[in-house]
Structure 1
Amino acid sequence: MKKKICNVLVGTLVTSMMSNTVNVSNVYADSNIDFMKETSEDWKLVWEDNFDGDSLNMEDWNYETHEPGWVNNELQEYTDSTDNIYVKDGELVLKAIKDETEDGVKYTSGKVTTQNKRDYKYGRFEARLKVPEGQGLWPAFWMMPTDENLYGSWPRCGEIDIMEVLGHEPEKAYGTIHYGNPHREQQGTYILDGTTFADDYHVFSVEWEPSEMRFYIDGNLYHTVNDWYTKQEGDDEKTYPAPFDQTFYLQFNLAVGGNWPGNPDETTDFENAELKVDYVKVYQLDSYDENVTKPEKEPVDLRDPDATGNYINNGDFSVNEDLTDNEGWIKLTTLGGRGESIIENNKIILTTEEVGKENYSLQLVQPQLPLKQYGEYRLTFDARADEDRTMIVNVTSPDRGYVRQFEDTVVNLTNELQSYSYDFIMKDIDEANGRVEFSYGNQGSLATIEISNVRLEKIGQHEAEDNNKKTVLPDGNYVYNGTFDVGQDRMKYWDIESTIDNVSIGVPNINNSRELKVDVKENPASLSDVIVKQTDLAIAKNKEYTLSFDAYGEEDKTIKAQINGESFEANITTEKTNFKYKFKTGEVLNNSNLELLLGAYGVTYIDNVRIKETGLITNGDFGNGFAKWELFADSSVSSKVSSSIDNSTGDPSARIDIQDTGDADWKIQLKQSNVKLEKGKKYVLSLDAKSTIDRSIMFTIQRDGSSDNDWRPYSPNEIVELKGEYNKYQVIFEMTEESDENSIFSIAMGAVNGTQITDEHSINIDNVKLEEYIPLVTENLFNTIKNAKVIVYSDEFDEIVEEDREKLIAALNEAEEVYENAVSENPTVTQEIIDNAEQNLKNIMDNLRKEEQKEPGQDDNNQDENNKPGNNKPGDNKPGNNKPGADNKNEGINKNNKSLVNTGSEAHVIILASALVMVAVGVKIIKRKKSIN
């Protein structure tokens, strides 16, 4: 059962070049054979359900309900109604129902699972069942992991499809596993000869062991897999046999419609649209050897091109070949696409009668194209259409989940024959079954297309990338394998140094819990006697980082962590605790190695080791290249957009070269995912940018709508004008939605404000920051000014002369105005500014206390002769003269804060220092006036 597959992948799945296809006669014509005798004696029955009662046993089963369109564009609503799910005559029946209503056709069906009731890790899983026949019906017996979050959402979590049959091909059954990131699948098929799986009952089973899965139908082995993986984007593969090393649960369902089977039509018989399950059984071995290794890949045999260097067969269309076989050119239709094709006069003519549901509902493809890793290729062809229209071209890998080796690219056709050329680099491993695809389905036109002179040539070979150089991982972590689940021993990237012999270090794997375990069995001389370390982390100079890890032990003890010349102690207990430490790098890195000093007697556990930048945006200065960043270019402009790291000034920045922005702002984006925002908090989002031409860009933080198309913004869609020199742009916003750890920061560089740009130009982005906005300082300052005005009018100061009062009020009014103006222009408050401002305030208050302790008339050592209290006439030292940036003669107050007040690098520092000095000076005038009077 395909789960959460994007439309392009699912749609093209129909046309997969299936491997491991077995064609058989109906070996087991007698459907009453006892299949237990086919099971090895080593497999022990641990659970079965023969559906002998009159209802489903809810101690074993769950109803799973979903609205139509939940996944795969399926039409049915899954219900818990006994009309759709029931037990009768010793069978579980899942029935699909079609209802004609005033609002149109409605489909309902059933789905049941054993999740959290009957979950198993490894075993033999078997069901005897009978499937329905009919266009758009899609029965399945399959398995999903109990906890899909262990390795991440589908397909990283893994999926085992024991049986799938498409109702319009009832003679063919599929057995498949899904895994990987990007999506991969391995699929086998089993085809009956002269009969169908809807005619009688058949037994479908899979034997799942740590290093292999074997698929059977009626006792016949037809598909074996032993090579799979899972990983996070940009990270290493998890230790084999992940993701198939966790508990899975069983499920049965009967889907209606969807990307793979297509929708029902007038021929579909819903009276007999039933999946009938006679029994389900689970067997287990006494034990499993989980210390297995992934099999080595055999070298891929890549065929040579023809004498002209072309890998395309019949690229000149000189042969009028059969377009329905699996050789050479193949014409494909799916999801309602309908049209004709003919080869004549050294070209292929593609006509369209029905465009179908998707842009790939009509396709011309050629598989079996060899692609060498890091090879550079050029795809060229000539094409025209009867009228202006588009088609989409790509190069993909059908056996690898249709991952794109050359991304979907929109080709704009006219009625004039034109030549098209596209270059791409094959970054995946060697591929013998690449496939070029021309898609011309639902793209707004029925116009006929002509294609000729198709060539795929290799034009270069690049050096392999240096995968040993560390960078920042996609989740923002600078520590590799901080969760101890990569490598054969789960210790990849970690080194061990020990001066004692009686110690064991490893990563146990108990109930999918993987933690570093250090067992020191003798009293060492120091913690440094046992060091677990990771070298050459990609931390950079002049940044602040947070080091964190989980730790606990079988007894209380102290351990240490060291990096960048700093040492941090952790006093651990028997309770798992998360420890966090901040450190800053300077102009020179002292040390980029992380060392965990674990030479403490007894058992210590460590997990989830992380080093992340303190900011909420990672690698915002592009010091680690494009790590953590993604450049998105829509297929209509992807060939006209490129990116690079610009080091021309010695300060790296992201450079985006654009030949065509496309016709919408979103068609070119520089993005960072998994940005954390918390409800109720305010943030400051800023960046530096420039462009070689005057143009606009837009930046925002938004919801990730990849699963439900909900892309609503959390911050304003800030549109700014770029010039030829860098400018700083920022926006302040409050997160009013629920907290979201997976939001997306996006800089849109397409047709902002509806302006499409076809002039070639470059945009540079640098110093992207997202910081929490903390308004306490400015709010307290504003309150200080207001309170000072109240105090000046209070009874305590009634005896001062009115002239002094008016001048003090004028100064406070000026401070208030300066505050309001500056806040409206530059309201950024960062933690650094707050720290500096708090120190500034502390110094001012310390000096005021000194003033309060002086006797009336006592000289101030920091005042000259003209500034003595006795000579301090009204107006001589006016508070209003202490304007931002003006010389402050009151050295007693300002002597420790000259750099803050006078440099004026941040508006709030100036405001805070100036306004508080004005208040302080005003209070001093009042105090001295009172003492004189």
Structure 2
Amino acid sequence: MKMAKILLTSSLLLAASSVFAQGKASEYTDADLVWKDDFNGKKLNTKDWNYEFHEPGWVNAELQSYDDSKKNTYLKDGCLVIQALKSEKKDGTSAYTSGRINTQGKHAFTYGRFEARLKVPKGMGFLPAFWMMPDDESYYGQWPKCGEIDIMEVMGQETNKLYGTLHFGEPHGMVQGTRVLDKGNFADEFHTFAVEWEPGEIRWYCDGVNYKTAKDWFTKRPGFGEQTFPAPFDQPFYIIFNVAVGGSWVGYPDETTDFDPKKDDAKMFVDYVKVYQKKEYNENVEKPAKAPVVAKTDASGNMISNQKSAWEFLTAGGGVGSVESDGKNHAIKSTNEGSLEYSVQYVQAKVPLNQGYRYRYSFDAYADAKRTMITGISAPNNSYARRFGDVKVDLTTQKQHFSYEFNMIADSDPECRLEYNCGAQDSTATIYISNIRLEKIGEIDLSFGKKCLPDGNYVFNGNFQEGKNRLGSWEIDNKANAQISVTRDRARMLKVVSPKKAKNEDVIVKQTGIKLEKGKDYIVKFDAYSSKTTNILVKYGDVEQKIRVLQAKTDSKTKALIPGHYEWVYVPESDKEIDFQLLLGSDGATVCVDNVYVKENCVVINGDFDRGDSGWELYANESSKAKFDVVNGAAEVKIDNTGSMDWMIQLKQNGCLLEKGKIYKITLKAKSDLDRTIMLALQRDGAKDDNWYPYSNTLKFNVGREFKEYSWQFTMGMETDPNVIFTISMGAVSGKPISQSHTVTIDSISVIEVQKNEKK
């Protein structure tokens, strides 16, 4: 049967928003239309769309594979149809296929209204989506740092409820809105879904109703500063349509799920997709100021409420129990401990913590029999990051007093959560807790900083992406009244426009207090170009370096200006604390500078972790659970769940240099309190093109309870690469996830060049 095409013109739909909108009415009209696809052809236009190819389990523990099969993705009766299919394999298990298409590299947009009219599949385990991802996911870093805009998601088992979501971070942050239909559903009739994305504000619409607006988000990498707002939502995004089958959020198909291709249950129909844009947008926006976090206390300074209503008892993963409480004294009872630490859980939410303070957390506790519990303070709005804990508490039948102190270094948060996790610890003995206190005991110095960033750079914000006007961490001395800014293009370069007769020393951009060590080689480097060939100065310590910056050249294909690269080595004769200064006054020239680095001239820095976690960061995929600390001069990665792939947990260092033809020796020490296999590689950075070639080969090794030294040699057979990633992967082993909690300890990492006559 031919399906009815659009019932209202787009202009009427847009106008309808002013009548029905609960929030802001749309200001976009047909005159703003810049691209559309109404799917009226015989086959999908591959000049506009790409097919995606992915194996089952690629993300979110989903069941389907994606390919370009015409059975999964096709045009019919003026609609795009994405069809999920189920088949039986020879071993009797089920296989699922579906479709996923995108406009990456063909149509990408920064800001605008993105609209589609569609209807969704229905049935347990279906998750259709109309959403957007950045055209260059590496620009701000891997997901979720790069950002994600979900315009429409509807669970197949709940087709009257719509979700619109932003993902960003790190730590992973999220803004989500929902709309529930009063009558009807999203599977039996077409509805119009849209997002209006502008600098500093993103609005979700359903059939003209503005049901959610976001004005506050962020992105950063661990150990780095926060990127200037509205990052990451200030870059080109492309459009995606797909239907997932199963997953960690939606759940999995059951006996009621109908995959019959003759029916519509497993199909998403898209009538059209349209993009509207204004001629210009004002990007001069600031992140909304957050209200101060106010901590309520009693007369004794205790921040924990003694009201019974402030506490909540929760179960999950098979846990069964109850609690008896008068608000001050609590008895946590379990009849089934469940499979998770939080299967039996007692919590107090909305506990405020302020950045820059030291806290003391204490309580009295005992149990009916000797057992353990786990306590901590989490941040539910930041992927449950731990502000304190998790601490395993050994309980006896005698009441004991427990007291802990911790610093709040993260941003102030009014909605932290105090937790007592009593599940999966080989006991159902009742736990008794009383005299619970949380109190401020002093302020801490947040200016301590790290010696260097996780990429080894001693210069902070050398890419000019952080802080107010993207000039965070830099001090400016502008005697010449020069124009100083950061360019708005994707390069984000420092731009200095000097008046005529300005001297180098009239415009100084600097950072102070950089601590360098005697005898070490440091690479000093940056990229720069000028409107005319000119000289600038670089000062650090007792060195003054004169640099001749050439007039910019233009790339013949992209028409972008090509900066020159300037690099040299500096060896301090003693331990020094230096000021690093760029003297950029240049007699009427415009000088642009980017990628400013001062870093050790070695493959891997801080491999012995004597400078804490400087140079290192942990990547943990959303489907895994792990955290990284430096304890007693060694890296400890505590893993509660590996996820389904080996790469889902990685201790890594970016920006390593490997030179063509050279021989390198890798050594490290490692152990684990659970016998397992881990993996190491020095690999290409494939964030832009998904090519993660392992220059060192993929090196797997077994670790156990005793420290053992491991060693390998390899020859760099490819072209010289200054952006290699050193990774130790601790995810699933041979595709088998590990859900047993364990800790991997790593120390004495070294990657050194070996002379050919030393080769063994």
Taking structure 2 as the reference length, what is the TM-score of the superposition? 0.77
Residue type matched to 1:222 in 2?
A: Y
Q: CA deviation at 1:375?
A: 4.0
Q: What CA distance in whole angstroms lies between the structure 1 residues aligned with 2:636 and 2:75?
A: 63
Q: CA deviation at 1:79?
A: 2.2
Q: What CA distance in whole angstroms lies between the structure 1 residues aligned with 2:155 and 2:396?
A: 39
| Pairing partner for 1:615 from 598, 602, 621 | 602
The residue that corresponds to 1:96 in the other structure is 84
Q: CA deviation at 1:330?
A: 4.3
Q: SS of 1:528's equivalent?
A: helix
Deviation track 1:862-911 (CA, whole Å, cap 9, x = no partner) reads xxxxxxxxxxxxxxxxxxxxxxxxxxxxxxxxxxxxxxxxxxxxxxxxxx
Q: What CA distance in whole angstroms lies between the structure 1 residues aligned with 2:313 and 2:186?
A: 28
Q: What CA distance in whole angstroms lies between the structure 2 residues aligned with 1:413 and 1:636?
A: 26
The residue that corresponds to 1:554 in the other structure is 531
| Pairing partner for 2:15 from 28, 33, 37 | 37
Structure-2 change in CA distance of 1:225 and 1:440 (3 Å): same
Q: SS of 1:239's equivalent?
A: coil
The residue that corresponds to 1:223 in the other structure is 212
Q: Does 2:124 correspond to 1:144?
A: no
Equivalences for residues 241-280 of structure 1 within 5 A: 241-271=230-260, 272-280=265-273
| Pairing partner for 1:742 from 696, 709, 725 | 725
The residue that corresponds to 1:286 in the other structure is 279
Answer with 185-194 or 138-147: which moved more. 185-194
Deviation track 1:556-586 (CA, whole Å, cap 9, x = no partner) reads 3333312111122323323422111111112
The residue that corresponds to 2:224 in the other structure is 235
Q: What CA distance in whole angstroms lies between the structure 2 residues aligned with 1:290 and 1:523?
A: 33
| Pairing partner for 1:682 from 663, 670, 685 | 663
The residue that corresponds to 2:591 in the other structure is 604
Residue type matched to 1:518 in 2?
A: V
Residue type matched to 1:463 in 2?
A: E
Answer whether contact 2:368 2:430 (CA < 8 A) is retained. yes
Q: What CA distance in whole angstroms lies between the structure 1 residues aligned with 2:314 and 2:259?
A: 31
Q: CA deviation at 1:72?
A: 0.9
Structure-2 change in CA distance of 1:600 and 1:32 (3 Å): closer
Structure-2 change in CA distance of 1:159 and 1:765 (3 Å): closer
Q: SS of 1:277's equivalent?
A: strand
Q: Does 2:589 correspond to 1:593?
A: no
Q: Does 2:111 correspond to 1:118?
A: no
Structure-2 change in CA distance of 1:552 and 1:282 (3 Å): same
Q: SS of 1:270's equivalent?
A: coil
| Pairing partner for 1:457 from 410, 432, 437 | 437
The residue that corresponds to 1:178 in the other structure is 167
The residue that corresponds to 1:506 in the other structure is 485
| Pairing partner for 2:68 from 80, 101, 106 | 80
The residue that corresponds to 1:368 in the other structure is 350
The residue that corresponds to 1:208 in the other structure is 197
Structure-2 change in CA distance of 1:770 and 1:598 (3 Å): farther
| Pairing partner for 1:196 from 185, 201, 208 | 185
Answer whether contact 2:337 2:422 (CA < 8 A) is retained. no
Q: Does 2:387 correspond to 1:405?
A: yes
Q: What CA distance in whole angstroms lies between the structure 1 residues aligned with 2:138 and 2:729?
A: 26
Q: What CA distance in whole angstroms lies between the structure 2 residues aligned with 1:77 and 1:351?
A: 41
The residue that corresponds to 2:417 in the other structure is 435
Q: What CA distance in whole angstroms lies between the structure 1 residues aligned with 2:618 and 2:47?
A: 49
Answer with 465-474 or 732-741: which moved more. 732-741
Q: What CA distance in whole angstroms lies between the structure 1 residues aligned with 2:444 and 2:104?
A: 44
The residue that corresponds to 1:787 in the other structure is none
- Normalized per residue, which structure has more helix? 1
Q: Does 2:529 correspond to 1:564?
A: no
Answer whether contact 1:123 1:282 (CA < 8 A) is retained. yes
Answer whether contact 1:685 1:731 (CA < 8 A) is retained. yes
Q: SS of 1:461's equivalent?
A: strand
Percent identity reads 39
Q: Does 2:471 correspond to 1:491?
A: yes
Q: What CA distance in whole angstroms lies between the structure 1 residues aligned with 2:151 and 2:139?
A: 22
Q: CA deviation at 1:145?
A: 0.4
Q: CA deviation at 1:623?
A: 7.7
Answer whether contact 1:383 1:449 (CA < 8 A) is retained. no
Equivalences for residues 319-330 of structure 1 within 5 A: 328-330=311-313
Q: CA deviation at 1:120?
A: 0.7
Answer whether contact 2:295 2:303 (CA < 8 A) is retained. no
Residue type matched to 2:15 in 1?
A: K
Structure-2 change in CA distance of 1:142 and 1:742 (3 Å): same
Q: SS of 2:381's equivalent?
A: helix
Deviation track 1:527-577 (CA, whole Å, cap 9, x = no partner) reads 334333222223334432110011222333333312111122323323422
Q: CA deviation at 1:601?
A: 4.5
Instruction: Structure 1 unaligned segments of length 5 or more: list them.
Output: 1-29, 322-326, 645-653, 663-668, 690-697, 723-728, 748-762, 780-823, 825-933
Structure-2 change in CA distance of 1:402 and 1:661 (3 Å): closer
Residue type matched to 1:508 in 2?
A: T
Q: CA deviation at 1:305?
A: 6.1
Structure-2 change in CA distance of 1:123 and 1:107 (3 Å): same
The residue that corresponds to 2:497 in the other structure is 519
Answer whether contact 1:619 1:628 (CA < 8 A) is retained. yes
Q: SS of 1:561's equivalent?
A: strand
Q: What CA distance in whole angstroms lies between the structure 2 residues aligned with 1:468 and 1:155?
A: 28
Answer with 569-578 or 88-97: which moved more. 569-578
Answer whether contact 2:668 2:746 (CA < 8 A) is retained. no
Residue type matched to 2:128 in 1?
A: P
Answer whether contact 2:528 2:594 (CA < 8 A) is retained. yes
Q: CA deviation at 1:31?
A: 7.5
Q: Does 2:454 correspond to 1:471?
A: no
- Normalized per residue, which structure has more strand? 2
Q: SS of 1:489's equivalent?
A: helix
Structure-2 change in CA distance of 1:268 and 1:638 (3 Å): closer
Q: What CA distance in whole angstroms lies between the structure 2 residues aligned with 1:487 and 1:472?
A: 18
Answer whether contact 2:515 2:576 (CA < 8 A) is retained. no
**Which structure ranks higher in relative contact order (CA pairs < 8 Å, sequence separation ≥ 6)?**
2
Residue type matched to 2:47 in 1?
A: E
Q: CA deviation at 1:177?
A: 0.8
Deviation track 1:619-653 (CA, whole Å, cap 9, x = no partner) reads 468785553357999x99999x9847xxxxxxxxx
Q: CA deviation at 1:774?
A: 2.4
| Pairing partner for 1:627 from 610, 614, 631 | 614
Structure-2 change in CA distance of 1:629 and 1:485 (3 Å): closer
Q: What CA distance in whole angstroms lies between the structure 1 residues aligned with 2:501 and 2:381?
A: 55
The residue that corresponds to 1:813 in the other structure is none
Structure-2 change in CA distance of 1:772 and 1:128 (3 Å): same
Q: Which has the larger radius of gyration?
A: 1
| Pairing partner for 1:577 from 564, 577, 586 | 564
The residue that corresponds to 2:314 in the other structure is 331
Q: CA deviation at 1:684?
A: 5.3
Q: What CA distance in whole angstroms lies between the structure 1 residues aligned with 2:626 and 2:289?
A: 39
Aligned pair count? 684
Structure-2 change in CA distance of 1:132 and 1:394 (3 Å): farther
Q: Does 2:750 correspond to 1:773?
A: no
Structure-2 change in CA distance of 1:462 and 1:513 (3 Å): same
Answer whether contact 1:312 1:454 (CA < 8 A) is retained. no
Q: What CA distance in whole angstroms lies between the structure 2 residues aligned with 1:165 and 1:386?
A: 47
Structure-2 change in CA distance of 1:161 and 1:360 (3 Å): farther
Taking structure 1 as the reference length, what is the TM-score of the superposition? 0.64
Equivalences for residues 532-551 of structure 1 within 5 A: 532-551=509-528
Structure-2 change in CA distance of 1:720 and 1:685 (3 Å): farther
Residue type matched to 1:516 in 2?
A: L
Answer whether contact 1:515 1:607 (CA < 8 A) is retained. yes
| Pairing partner for 2:143 from 154, 165, 169 | 154
